[in-house]
Structure formats: C-alpha cells, structure tokens
Amino acid sequence: MKRLLKLAIRVLVLIGALLFAYLAVTFVQVWLASRRDEARPSQAIIVLGAAQYNGTPSPVLAARLDHAIDLYREKIAPVIVVTGGRQPGDQYTEAGASADYLHEHGVMETAILRETTGRTSWESLEAAARFLKSRGIIRVVLVSDPYHSERIAAIAHDVGLDAVTSPTRTSPIKGFNALKRMFGETLRVAAGRVFGYARLDRHREITKLVPG
C-alpha cells in the first residue's frame, strides 16, 4: 500500500511538473509575441474590437484604431476591417463605433469594412475571414493589445488567414493589469492548443473563469 501511495505521489508530481513547464513555455511565447511587431505589406488590416460607450470607442479600442490608422497611412494595407458586434444593452456595435472613428480621422469610407456580429475573438475573426476570402483577401495584419497577439494569430491561422500581428503600444492597459491579462492569455492559449480554439469558444463558460 505504501509503495502504491509513493508511486501515485510521484506520478502526480511528474504531471504537475509537466503542466508547470507547459504553462511556463506558453507564457514566454505569449510574452515574446507581445513584443513583436510583424507588420508587412498586406491586403487588409483587421482591428479586434473592444468596448465602446454609446458610439464612442473606449480608450482601449481607440488605441487599437489609432495604430491601425498609422499602418493605413504607411500604406501597409488599403483596407481596414473593424470587428465586434453589439453587447447586451448596447445601441451601437463595436464595429460601427470603430468605423465612425476611422472616418473622422481621415480614413475613406470605401477603405473600411465592418464585421458586426462577433462577440469573441474567434467569432469576429471567423466572420471576417469568410467575407475577406470571398473578396480574395487572406494576407492580413492583426491589430490588438500586445498580450492578445499570440492567441489571435493562432485563431487567424485556424480560420484560413495568412496573418501577422502588429500590437498597439499606446494601450491604457499597462503594468499589473497588462501582466494579469498576459497570464489569462497564457491559460487561453494553452487550452486552445490542447482542445482547439473553436471548441473553447463554443464552451465559453469555461473561458469566463480565466482572469483577464
């Protein structure tokens, strides 16, 4: 009996060590991705949605949009795709608020495409991929907060886009809050690699337990 107990303890310790190593490696990958700006000439820039307040982008969303505008002016791509649907109780979609902001900052209406149904990164990128591929567009640059880069790049690959990331550097999410979200993304990326990002999105109640 004692021998079996010792064996069980050793197995549990080994599993714990392997899990810790997996999460540590994933955290490093998430952190490294947050530091990279891979912007290159593409067919479209996709901006991941964030909160808007009665049609006005939140500071987090505005920082993403400002970076997308810079990339657009640098002629990285001729089109900006804004994403994000309407959250419960909202009158405006995140994409609609984003499009208005871009237009007010000099981006031509014809250069703005809207994805207005997604409520998660997976839903937004999957929907955007569908209408972009119907236009022959697959080469894209993804814009979001730095901590988000590793996961959205993986999701974009899953939905058939040739994507790189170019995170904003002016996000108001900094310091401890950014680190907390980095840990949250580590858990999401780790789980997504094991179970698949599409499956995790279908079982959203699980990811809601993850901080950040």
Residue 189's CATH number: 3.40.50.620
Q: What is the mean pLDDT of the chain?
A: 92
- Asked, for residue 8, whether it belongs to a domain, the answer is no
- Asked, for residue 11, whether it belongs to a domain, the answer is no
Q: Rounded to a whole number, what is the distance in angstroms from the first to the last CA of the chain?
A: 44
Q: Which of 181, 195, 34, 29 is nearest to 21 (CA)?
A: 29
- Asked, for residue 172, whether it belongs to a domain, the answer is yes
How far apart CA 142 and CA 190 sit, in angstroms, is 20
Contact 12, 46 (CB under 8 A): no
- Asked, for residue 139, whether it belongs to a domain, the answer is yes
How far apart CA 155 and CA 46 sit, in angstroms, is 13
Q: Supply the pLDDT for residue 97.
A: 96
How far apart CA 97 and CA 147 sit, in angstroms, is 23
How many domains does one find in the chain?
1
pLDDT at 50 over 70: yes
pLDDT in tens, 157-197: 999 999 999 999 999 999 999 999 999 999 999 999 999 99
**pLDDT grade for 211, boundaries at 50, 70 and 90:** very low
Q: Supply the pLDDT for residue 212.
A: 43
Mean pLDDT of 115-123: 94
Q: Which of 82, 190, 198 is nearest to 140 (CA)?
A: 82
- Asked, for residue 26, whether it belongs to a domain, the answer is no
Mean pLDDT of 14-37: 95
How far apart CA 179 and CA 135 sit, in angstroms, is 38
**pLDDT grade for 23, boundaries at 50, 70 and 90:** very high
Residue found by looking up tokens 């190593």 in the block: 21
pLDDT at 205 over 80: no
Contact 152, 178 (CB under 8 A): no
Q: What is the pTM of this model?
A: 0.91
**pLDDT grade for 204, boundaries at 50, 70 and 90:** low
Residue found by looking up tokens 């997976």 in the block: 122
Q: Supply the pLDDT for residue 206.
A: 52
Which are the contacts of 74, defined by CB distance < 8 A and separation ≥ 6?
none
- Six-digit token string for 60: 């987090």
What range defines the domain where residue 136 resides? Answer: 34-207
- Asked, for residue 144, whether it belongs to a domain, the answer is yes
Q: Supply the pLDDT for residue 187.
A: 96
Contact 33, 182 (CB under 8 A): no
- Asked, for residue 108, whether it belongs to a domain, the answer is yes
- Asked, for residue 133, whether it belongs to a domain, the answer is yes
How far apart CA 173 and CA 185 sit, in angstroms, is 14
pLDDT in tens, 72-85: 999 999 999 999 99
